[in-house]
């Protein structure tokens, strides 16, 4: 517990305690709430343990004191804290659900071991990129996530939580970036020996400014050292992203 203040120094592109969007902010708040709840229960247990050691057995008529500690604090207090945390978690989870409100929808397709994205480009035409997802800043967007081979997991810690990429089953994930910038993402589900290479970037651009060049990343960040094991993008029999030439 004494090391908890050190967590305030947690920062970086893959830190969930450094949110840059409303969804990530809700998750960070839930994390802190759960930490406080766990701290309260831990403190109660430690107090009870210290009292038990110092006072020893206390024999009272009808064991009233014992029942008060067991039912009042051991059960009542713990269940109250856990109930509040559960209600808060359900409330946060409901606020993170994708809604049919006209938000921009982009596509993310995972395969061993890279990510391919389709997003609106110049004139609203779809543009495919590899390793980089381009979205407007300050606007909510939905990511339709799927996979061509095994189960992967889409995760941009500064923007939101994880969402599985399942073959043949698109999952919709609501995110938003508060400010223009580059946010790092990665696959959060072990998917083979190329898993550490399965990273990507989310570039949030100013919607009032010029469009980005929609360039891809095709380097060590997304490509494993054994390309003979990388699955092809097409011919997998799963949900496909329309082939588009990314503009350089």
Per-residue pLDDT of 174-198, as tens digits, reads 899 999 999 999 998 898 888 888 9
How is residue 227 written in tokens?
Answer: 């390309």
The answer on pLDDT for 35 being more than 50 is: yes
Strand order in the sheet with 104-111: 126-130, 114-120, 104-111, 141-147, 171-175
- Residue 37: pLDDT band (50, 70, 90) is confident
| Helix, coil or strand: residue 183 | strand
C-alpha distances (whole Å) from 155 to each of 148, 174, 206 are 17, 12, 22
CB atoms within 10 A of CB 56: 7
Per-residue pLDDT of 41-83, as tens digits, reads 888 888 878 877 877 665 555 555 667 777 777 788 888 888 8
Helices of type H across the chain: 22-55, 64-67, 78-95
Q: Which CATH architecture has domain 104-229?
A: Sandwich (2.60)
The residues pairing with 200 across neighbouring beta strands, listed in sequence order, are: 185
DSSP letter for 196, please: G
- Mean per-residue pLDDT over the chain, rounded: 78
Q: Which of 32, 26, 24, 10 has its CA nearest to residue 158?
A: 24
Query: CA 47 to CA 64: how far, in whole Å?
Result: 19
**Residue predicted with more confidence, 142 or 217:** 142
- Tell me the mean pLDDT in the region 28-40: 88
pTM, 2 dp? 0.70
**Residue predicted with more confidence, 241 or 165:** 165
Parse the chain into domains and list their residue ranges.
11-95, 104-229
């Amino acid at each position: 517990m004494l090391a908890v203040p050190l967590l305030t120094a947690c920062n970086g592109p893959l830190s969930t305690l450094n949110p840059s969007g409303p969804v990530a902010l809700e998750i960070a708040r839930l994390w802190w709430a759960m930490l406080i709840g766990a701290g309260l229960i831990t403190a109660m247990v430690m107090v009870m343990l210290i009292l038990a050691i110092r006072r020893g057995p206390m024999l009272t008529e009808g064991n009233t004191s014992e029942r008060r500690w067991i039912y009042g604090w051991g059960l009542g207090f713990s269940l109250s804290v856990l109930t509040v945390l559960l209600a808060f978690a359900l409330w946060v989870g409901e606020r993170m659900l994708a809604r049919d409100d006209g938000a921009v929808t982009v596509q993310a397709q995972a395969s061993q071991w890279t990510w391919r994205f389709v997003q609106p480009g110049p004139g609203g035409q779809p543009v495919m990129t590899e390793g980089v997802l381009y979205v407007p800043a300050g606007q909510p967007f939905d990511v339709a996530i799927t996979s061509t081979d095994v189960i992967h997991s889409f995760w941009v810690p500064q923007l939101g939580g994880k969402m599985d990429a399942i073959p043949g089953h698109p999952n919709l994930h609501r995110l938003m970036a508060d400010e223009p910038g580059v946010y790092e993402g990665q696959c959060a589900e072990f998917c083979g020996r190329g898993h550490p290479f399965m990273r990507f970037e989310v570039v949030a651009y100013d919607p009032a400014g010029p469009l980005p060049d929609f360039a891809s990343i095709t380097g060590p960040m997304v490509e494993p050292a054994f390309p003979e094991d990388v699955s092809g993008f097409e011919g997998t029999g799963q949900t496909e992203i329309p082939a588009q030439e990314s503009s350089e």
